Amino acid sequence: MCRLLVDIGNTNVACAWMNEGLELLGVLSTGAGLLDSLPGMPAEVWVASVADVVHTARLLGPLHEAGIPVVEVRVLDHAGFLETRYHPAQLGVDRWLGLLACRARGRYPAVVVDVGTATTVDLLDSEGIHQGGYILPGLDMMRSALLAGTAIRMYEAPIVCAGDTLPVDTMGAIHCGAIQVQVALIEKLSASQPPGGWVVLGGGMASMIAAHLRCRRETMEHMVLHGLAVLAKGGGACVG
């Protein structure tokens, strides 16, 4: 069965084609429809959305009109696939699916990080049980909040954050400061894990954080789509 997997985020929409394996189709351009440029017509569509109801309905409308079955994933509907200590009704589907993908790949114990509009940091213990986590403003949001709340003025300048070298200009101090705050939390949590644990990073800005981590780490592109693949397959090993 050919399935279309869709991750509707706060900023972007990412898709994957799932047949025998998983083919990542990338991020939709502005105004593109979910059925545009597909390798075929899907038998069904699995969707994870953290966007508002109106935006989600607009994107899914053509699928319903075409008579394609759509599964909108909600944590409470699939809670048995991943044990969590977090309040399940308050756990974002994107976080939940990222954790599910990591567990299916055997990446636990782990600090699971999604660096996007917001940064989420979650812990999987040595049994693959979600212990809870943190939500931080994303890197852009941290910088924007600081600039909005102070008299600092933005200016164009090349910014390089090199290891432990302290920034010597204001924009560098803001940009690198936002990175180091998130790196410090991740490394602190990583150090608290049993030996052999992982830090798994996803999200559009994962590379910025990964470059500054000293701990064992792995980047999983489109983590939510990999989690959708696990769920669509029935909760077993990751596809692709």
Answer yes or no: do 62 and 120 share one domain: no
Q: What is the pLDDT of residue 33?
A: 84
Task: Examine the domain organization and report whether 48 and 140 are in the same domain.
Answer: no
- Domain match, 198 and 112 both: yes
CA distances for 74 relative to 79, 89, 168, 230, 231, angstroms: 9, 9, 46, 14, 11
Tally of residues, the chain:
240
The span from the CA of 166 to the CA of 177, in Å, is: 9
215 with 227, same domain: the answer is: no
Same structural domain for residues 127 and 199? yes
Secondary structure letter of residue 206 according to DSSP? H
Looking at the structure, tell me whether residues 167 and 89 fall in a common domain: no
Residues 96 and 35 in one domain: yes
Which SS3 state, helix, strand or coil, does residue 42 take?
coil
Q: What SS3 state is found at 21?
A: coil
Together in a domain, 196 and 92:
no
User: Looking at the structure, do residues 161 and 181 belong to the same domain, yes or no?
Assistant: yes
Total domain count, the chain: 2
Cite the active site residues: 94
75 and 19 part of one domain: yes
Are residues 112 and 180 located together in one domain of the fold? yes
Residue 40 lies in domain: 1-105+222-240
Would you state the pLDDT for residue 11? 84
pLDDT at 31: 66
CATH at residue 228: 3.30.420.40
Q: Write out the chain's pLDDT in tens, 240 residues.
A: 899 999 999 888 999 999 888 999 888 876 678 888 787 899 999 999 999 999 999 999 999 999 999 999 999 999 899 999 999 999 999 999 999 999 999 999 999 999 999 999 999 999 999 999 999 999 999 999 998 999 887 666 667 787 778 998 888 899 899 999 999 999 999 999 988 899 999 999 999 999 999 999 999 999 999 999 999 998 555 455
Contact in structure between 205 and 116 (CB atoms under 8 Å): yes
Kindly state whether residues 240 and 190 are assigned to the same domain: no
